[in-house]
Amino acid sequence: MTVLEASPAIGTEVQLSSEPVIETRNLDLVFQTADAPVHALSDIDLTIGKGEFVSLIGPSGCGKTTLLRVIADLEQPTGGTISVNGMTPHEARENRAYGYVFQHSALFPWRTIAKNIALPLEVMGIDKAERDRRVEENLALVDLKGFGRKFPWQLSGGMQQRASIARALAVQPDMLLMDEPFGALDEIVRDHLNEQLLKLWARTKKTVVFVTHSIPEAVFLSTRIVVMSPRPGRIHEIIDCDLGEDRPLDIRETPEFLAIAQRVRDGLRAGHAYDE
C-alpha cells in the first residue's frame, strides 16, 4: 500500500511504503503556565508508516519530547488531530500499542532486572509462566541473557538501558517510543547500542519513533529524520535516510551518510532562523 502524505515542510510529498500508524494533522499544543502560555507545538503534520524508524531532531526546547508524549497520550494537544494505530492516543495506550523508553532507564532499584521487565506484565494480569517466558525472550533479544537476577545497580548504564528496552518490548507493542535513550551514555557504548538497536529493529519490524540530539545517531538509525525548529516547535523538514537496512558503523564515513548528515545540519541551521 502506498500512502501520499501532504506536508507543509520541505520535501512536501512523501511516499510511504507501508500503512500509516501515526498520523497528525495541524497538531498544536500550548502549555498554560503561571507566567505565560508556552506554545510547544505548532501545526505538526506528520505521517509515520508501519515498520519505519523515524527520528525527531531539533534544538533544545523545540518540542521533541512533547510530541512523543502526545503520541503516548501523556500530554493532550490543544488543537489538530492525531491517530495512533487508527485509534486515539488514549485508546492506543489502553491497547498497549507502544512501549516507552526514557532517557534514564527508570528501573525500580529494589526489583531485579527480571522483575522489572515482568512488572507491566503483572499489571496486565499475565500469568507467571507467560511472564517468565517473555522475560527470558526479551532478555535474549537485548543480549542480557543470564542477567535477570541482577539488580539495576549491578549493571552498567548501557545494560540498564537495554533492560528498559526489554521491559518496553515485553508487552509486545507494535511501536517503540524512545526519548533520547542513549543520551547519557559515552560515545563507545552509544555506538554499540545503536548497532544493537538497529539489529533489533530489523528483527522485530517494530515502528520506532526516536528522539535525539545527535545528527550521526539520527542518520545511522533512521529511515526518515524529522527536523524540528524552535519556539513554537514545528516541522522544518523531513529527510529521507535511504541507506538500506545493512548499516555497519563505518557507514558513517561514506559520502552518502555524510551528505545526509549535512542536510540535517543545514536543516537545523535554517530552522533556527525562524527565531530571528
Distance in angstroms (rounded) separating the CA atoms of residues 164 and 157: 11
Distance from C-alpha of 209 to C-alpha of 51, rounded to nearest angstrom = 10
Q: How far is the CB of 74 from ligand ATP (least distance, A)?
A: 10
- CB-nearer residue toward ligand ATP: 65 or 116: 65
Report residue 106: phi and psi, to 5°: 55, 35
Q: How far is the CB of 167 from ligand ATP (least distance, A)?
A: 22
Binding mask 77-116 for ligand ATP (x = CB under 6 A): ----------------------------------------
Size of the site for ligand ATP (CB under 6 A): 12
Cβ neighbours of residue 173 closer than 8 Å, sequence gap 6 or more: 96, 97, 98, 99, 206
Per CB under 6 A, contacts with ligand ATP among 21-80 are 31, 33, 38, 40, 58, 60-66
Task: Report, in Å, the least distance between residue 68 CB and ligand ATP.
Answer: 8
Cα end-to-end distance, the chain, whole Å: 41
Burial of 4 (0-12, 13-18, 19+ CB in 10 A): exposed
Least separation, in Å, of the C-beta of 60 and ligand ATP? Answer: 3
Q: What angle do CA 108, 191, 211 make, to 5 degrees?
A: 60
Q: Name which of 64 and 134 has its Cβ closer to ligand ATP.
A: 64
Q: Shortest distance, CB of residue 31 to ligand ATP, whole angstroms?
A: 3
Rule CB under 6 A: which residues touch ligand ATP? 31, 33, 38, 40, 58, 60-66
